[in-house]
Structure 1
Amino acid sequence: MAKRTPCPCGLDAAYADCCGSIHEGRTQATTAERLMRSRYSAFAVRDAGYLLRSWRSTTRPRELHLEDDIEWTGLEILNATDGTPFHTEGTVEFRANYLAAGEPGDQTENSHFLRENGLWVYDGPAG
């Protein structure tokens, strides 16, 4: 992505300074919500490597194939519990909007995050 391209996560920042810096390992997500936003952006820019690296080691799939015909069009954070720099676990409920074959759709999930080796990682749907 171009350096000044708006970040797909919806924050008012350029991709390179926002989620791009997390994807490249220059910065780390300091909260569960920032990790959620960075993972959404990784889907938008098709960075499967980052998605796998930011997934809990015990729940992470061996490989991840991203759909070429899905265009992610927006992220809404619906709710978040815990997941601050002072927590070790948290949840983020979100709605991710997309276009698939030109048809709009959305995915809603309440995701569970935790710290693994000091870093926030995605664990799976909160249950």
Structure 2
Amino acid sequence: MIHAQGVPEVTDADFTAEVLDERGRPVLVEFTADWCGPCRQLAPVLSAVAAEETDRLKVVQIDVDRNPATAARYGVLATPMLFVFRDGEPVRQLVGARAKRKLLQELEEHLEQRPAARA
């Protein structure tokens, strides 16, 4: 699998526990595949987002070929497909690779707010 460093892989078996049961911060799920060129382009972006936004966002990957039930459940027909889940519900869907800045802009409204800096 094209594994973004620092981004855990989830499976059909643990998707509910790792994604749907997560409360508090939203979960960004990348539906990916080994053969997917744009997924390879997105891997370092996801690694950076996961590292930089860990307090506001949980990031995971799921391989569509090894986990067809979850891919089918969410109608994944192309990769990479990104879903943002909040409290067990998909609230945003994005298709295709993008730069980190663009991805963060598209996710901002769904991220946990950062605490205000103290003076």
Q: Which has the higher contact order (CA 8 A, sep 6+)?
A: 2
TM-score (norm: length of structure 1) = 0.28
More helix by share: 2
Per the normalisation by structure 2, the TM-score is 0.29
Higher strand fraction: Structure 1 or Structure 2? 1
